[in-house]
């Protein structure tokens, strides 16, 4: 990662000092990094005697319930209580956005964010941040996660003597989920952060166990079906699978329980890109992962209405006339990836 801009750090420090109401926003369908970085920030602000509100555009999955966000301050789920979420944004004296590059990723909060008069700070690790909408931008793509960037930013603030253990635990959790437990996006700074966290008392085995050893059996029954019946490959080295709502319901699957399915096909030697689609809320939510040398981000951007990181991206396909069902989505994936590799 690049060196943090000293002036931005001092500006952010002064904004925290001056703020009495901090509102933190993360992306819709929050994952471990969104929640971990949000909770880490809340706990840090609490250690300075500041109360903050965390806004989640949609609920956090049950698989992350070990991150006790609610006990650390008010948490508002915006699509359940839009009025409270808009009030928290309007009344904030400081707004901190984490783990997204554009407010559109905080679905439903765009208008109140644009209208808010408070200074706005972005701490993120995705490609192409919307710099114009923020007063301070900490953006770094050569880093594991938003949680890691929050770690380095908080550590650099003059008011930090020692980061609270609660913050370190939350940030370690977010970093571990975004790196798939150090399998990808792991930089020298990532290992340094991990080393410092463990030295400061973070129980890494507990963090790993909370993330990876607390799933329900349902996930593994679906995983068997996904691998044996649904996963397909193309001669171009693409693996893909589409799960309909009906199939997800048949296995009683809840949000978060298909986490990392998309990564598994990359374990096959010949596969250079993996796509996983699942039907949810009238769209197919798209996850794309790629090996080094293939751009998941570009493919997602060109064909799947999204983007993210070079080797990990997300988007969506609307269900409608063009793509009415899972079979049509599968056909589209083959056409889109074939066109993508022809133009690469």
**206-245 positions binding Mn ion, by CB under 5 A:** none
- Cα torsion 14, 15, 16, 21: sign: positive
C-beta of 146: minimal distance to Mn ion in Å? 5
Strand bridging mode 52-56 / 75-77: parallel
C-beta of 124: minimal distance to Mn ion in Å? 8
- Judged by CB under 5 A, the stretch of 142-150, 164-172, 201-209, 304-312 that binds Mn ion is 142-150
C-beta of 4: minimal distance to Mn ion in Å? 18
**CA separation for the pair 288, 341 (Å, rounded):** 14
Task: Give the nearer residue to Mn ion in terms of CB position, either 105 or 120.
Answer: 105
Count CA within 13 A, CB hemisphere, residue 165.
8
C-beta of 34: minimal distance to Mn ion in Å? 7
Cβ neighbours, 10 Å, residue 327: 11
Report the interhelical angle of 326-343 vs 296-303 (nearest 10°): 120
Q: Which residue has the tokens 């929640």?
A: 35
- Judged by CB under 5 A, the stretch of 3-11, 99-107, 164-172, 314-322 that binds Mn ion is 99-107
C-beta of 240: minimal distance to Mn ion in Å? 23
| Size of site (CB under 5 A) for Mn ion | 5
Task: Give the nearer residue to Mn ion in terms of CB position, either 148 or 247.
Answer: 148
Task: Give the nearer residue to Mn ion in terms of CB position, either 145 or 287.
Answer: 145
- Judged by CB under 5 A, the stretch of 6-14, 79-87, 138-146, 260-268 that binds Mn ion is 138-146
Using CB under 5 A, which of 23, 40, 89, 99 touches Mn ion? 99
Task: Give the nearer residue to Mn ion in terms of CB position, either 237 or 306.
Answer: 306
**240-299 positions binding Mn ion, by CB under 5 A:** none
CA distances from 41 to 124, 235, 260 (A): 13, 46, 26
- Judged by CB under 5 A, the stretch of 25-33, 181-189, 205-213, 233-241 that binds Mn ion is 25-33
Should residue 178 be labelled a site residue for Mn ion when binding is judged by CB under 5 A?
A: yes
C-beta of 173: minimal distance to Mn ion in Å? 12
Task: Give the nearer residue to Mn ion in terms of CB position, either 33 or 86.
Answer: 33
C-alpha closest to that of 15 among 145, 196, 136: 136
Using CB under 5 A, which of 33, 148, 259, 330 touches Mn ion? 33
- Position closest to Mn ion via CB: 33
**CA separation for the pair 340, 303 (Å, rounded):** 8
3-class DSSP assignment, residue 219: helix
* Chain centre distance of CA 100: 7
Task: Give the nearer residue to Mn ion in terms of CB position, either 100 or 332.
Answer: 100
Which residues in the chain belong to E strands, given as ranges? 22-25, 52-56, 75-77, 94-98, 120-124, 136-139, 232-233, 238-243, 273-280, 283-290, 307-309, 312-318
Should residue 124 be labelled a site residue for Mn ion when binding is judged by CB under 5 A?
A: no
Q: Which residues bind Mn ion (CB under 5 A)?
A: 33, 99, 145-146, 178
């Amino acid at each position: 990662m690049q060196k943090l801009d000293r002036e931005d750090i001092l500006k952010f420090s002064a904004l925290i000092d001056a703020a009495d109401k901090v509102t933190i926003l993360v992306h819709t369908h929050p994952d471990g990094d969104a929640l971990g970085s949000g909770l880490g920030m809340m706990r840090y602000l609490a250690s300075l005697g500041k109360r903050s509100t965390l806004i989640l555009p949609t609920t956090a999955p049950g698989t992350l319930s070990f991150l006790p966000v609610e006990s650390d301050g008010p948490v508002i789920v915006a699509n359940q209580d839009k009025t409270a979420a808009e009030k928290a944004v309007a009344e904030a004296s400081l707004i901190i956005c984490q783990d997204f590059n554009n407010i559109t990723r905080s679905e439903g909060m765009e208008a109140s964010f644009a209208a808010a008069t408070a200074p706005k700070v972005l701490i993120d690790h995705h490609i192409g941040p919307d710099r114009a909408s923020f007063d301070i931008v900490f953006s770094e793509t050569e880093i594991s996660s938003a949680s890691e960037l929050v770690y380095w930013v908080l550590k650099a603030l003059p008011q930090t003597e020692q980061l609270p253990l609660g913050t370190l635990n939350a940030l370690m959790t977010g970093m571990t989920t975004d790196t798939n437990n150090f399998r990808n996006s792991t930089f020298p700074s990532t290992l340094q952060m991990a080393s410092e966290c463990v030295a400061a008392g973070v129980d890494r085995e507990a963090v790993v166990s909370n993330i990876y050893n607390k799933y329900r059996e349902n996930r593994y029954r679906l995983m068997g079906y996904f691998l044996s019946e649904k996963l397909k490959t193309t001669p171009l080295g693409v693996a893909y699978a589409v799960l309909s709502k009906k199939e997800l319901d048949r296995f009683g699957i809840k949000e978060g329980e298909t986490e990392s399915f998309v990564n598994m096909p990359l374990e096959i030697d010949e596969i250079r890109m993996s796509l996983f689609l699942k039907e949810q809320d009238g769209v197919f939510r798209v996850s794309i992962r790629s090996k080094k040398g293939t751009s998941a981000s570009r493919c997602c951007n060109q064909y799947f209405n999204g983007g993210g990181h070079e080797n990990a991206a997300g988007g969506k396909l609307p269900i409608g006339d063009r793509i009415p069902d899972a079979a049509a989505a599968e056909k589209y994936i083959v056409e889109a990836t074939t066109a993508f590799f022809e133009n690469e």
